[in-house]
Structure 1
Amino acid sequence: MELSLPDFDYERGQVGIETLVVFIAMILVAAIAATVLINTTGFLQNKASATSQDSAQQVSNQVVVISGVGDVHNNSSGEKVVNQTELTVMQSPGADSIDLGGSTIKWIGPHGAQTLTYADNASAADAEFSVSAIRDEDGSLPVLNEKTDRMKLNIALDKNADALKPLQAGEDATIQIVTQSGSQYTYVASTPQTLSSQSDGGAVSL
């Protein structure tokens, strides 16, 4: 009787091929994973860079209020009130050009809050503000594009308006200026405790 011996060379060959297939599959999986990781890393880097640029703009591209003034007038009851606020503004250090016409102002006063938009002929009834030039050598109004530019934000107040009513003595209003880049500057306008000594048409510091 003849004995049949196992073909060890064949079995070793089969094992070798299977190992090679598994090895190649592992390499392919690793390569795909590396590609996905690289793409994800690049995406996150780009997103982080864009976010960083936006944040930098929000911090640097803002206006600075130099001073605030209120115009005093007698109301229908003969009481003296501030019926217009004027904020003198300039660029913050390191800021690029700032289009005040594209900015908004949020007024938070004793009678409520109101968001104002820019208009050439602004009115309290339409929740608008206007911009006038104090120093604007290149005629860029309403854009602040030079460090020496000085412009005035004019906010008219009216007794018939909802939130933009005249300020009485001792009242405060918070004024938030938000530029197109999203930067925000907050100014608190505080009227003097008494306005009785002021003349009709006079001005007080806010």
Structure 2
Amino acid sequence: MKANKNVRFSEDTSAQVGIGTLIIFIAMVLVAAVAAAVLIQTSGVLQQRAQQTGSEATQEVSSNIDIKNIEGIRAANGDELTNTVDMLRLQLGLQSGSSPVDLNQLVVTITDGSSTNTLTYTDGNDPASEFGGENGNLERLQTTDGATDLFAVREIRDEDESFSQENPVMNTGDLVNMYISTASEEANTENHQINIDGEDFPTENSESGLTLDPRTEVGIVMTPEAGAISQASFITPSTYGVTDIVSLYP
């Protein structure tokens, strides 16, 4: 018969409480804090970029100039009309939902297939020039650099009175006329005048380098500061007839 044996289990309730354990614990806390800070900062930057990208994308698709129609105006020497279109009058508005468009920042490119002009806005109130007043912008087009480098604008409808020559910003519902000189060599002679909205403007010294004869293919591109570009392409009629106003587009 075997004798009973007493079995004892040792109990060790002590733990590591030294400086090494404390350092490891603090290091883990610091690493977690740094990782959390990096994640928070990264998420904030990504959110800002996403908001900016979304805003820019919305503006790109919502700022659209609507070219409603284009008319050509011929210069005249007395009762004799030129055989070319010497001024374009474009009626412009904004498409539904469009953001405001600053015409000061608009760049217009026009080509007749042989020559191309790149145009920017003029209000005609250049302190270094003699042009000013109600017709200063149109008078400015009747100069060599004005005909090749500038376009002019007059408002037709501006219910909120936000559009002015000094601050040409179009809002939804506004309607304006844009004028682009296409004066040819034929119109750039003495005694030729062009009638714009009931006012006569001499075309001498205003050659644009463009020649809009009958059956000329014309392309116009409008590039705003922000938003989609607007384009219009047309071919001038086979004959201009005996009128000084020619319908060109649409």
Do both proteins adopt the same fold according to a TM-score greater than 0.5, normalized to the shorter chain? yes
Alignment of 1:40-79 (within 5 A): 40-73=42-75
CA contact (8 A) 1:100 1:179 kept: yes
Q: Is 1:129 the equivalent of 2:151?
A: yes
CA contact (8 A) 1:111 1:162 kept: no
In the TM superposition, residue 17 of structure 1 has moved relative to its aligned partner by: 4.5
TM-score (norm 2): 0.64
In the TM superposition, residue 172 of structure 1 has moved relative to its aligned partner by: 2.1
RMSD: 3.1
Q: Is 1:177 the equivalent of 2:222?
A: yes
Alignment of 1:4-23 (within 5 A): 13=16, 17-23=19-25
Name the counterpart of 1:4: none
Amino acid at match of 2:230: Y
Name the counterpart of 1:32: 34
Q: Structure 1's 62 and 41: CA in aligned 2 closer, same or farther, altered over 3 A? A: same
In the TM superposition, residue 128 of structure 1 has moved relative to its aligned partner by: 0.3
Equivalent residues, number: 191
Amino acid at match of 1:48: A
CA contact (8 A) 1:100 1:143 kept: yes
CA contact (8 A) 1:58 1:184 kept: no
Q: Which runs of 5+ in 1 are unaligned?
A: 1-8
Q: 1:151 aligns with which of 172, 176, 180?
A: 176
Distance 2:246 2:222 in 1: 22
Distance 2:37 2:169 in 1: 47
Q: Is 1:166 the equivalent of 2:215?
A: no
Distance 1:40 1:113 in 2: 48
Alignment of 1:66-145 (within 5 A): 66-73=68-75, 80-120=83-123, 121=137, 122-123=140-141, 125-126=145-146, 127-139=149-161, 140-141=163-164, 142-145=168-171
Q: Which runs of 5+ in 2 are unaligned?
A: 1-11, 124-136, 186-205
Amino acid at match of 2:63: N
Percent identical pairs in the alignment equals 30
Distance 1:42 1:183 in 2: 30
Alignment of 1:187-206 (within 5 A): 187-192=232-237, 194-195=238-239, 197-199=240-242, 201-206=244-249
Distance 1:135 1:155 in 2: 20
Amino acid at match of 1:190: I
In the TM superposition, residue 49 of structure 1 has moved relative to its aligned partner by: 0.6
The one-character-per-residue Cα deviations of 1:94-121 (angstroms, maximum 9, x if unpaired) are 1233332332212243124332111132
The one-character-per-residue Cα deviations of 1:133-156 (angstroms, maximum 9, x if unpaired) are 233345424332351x22111100
TM-score (norm 1): 0.76
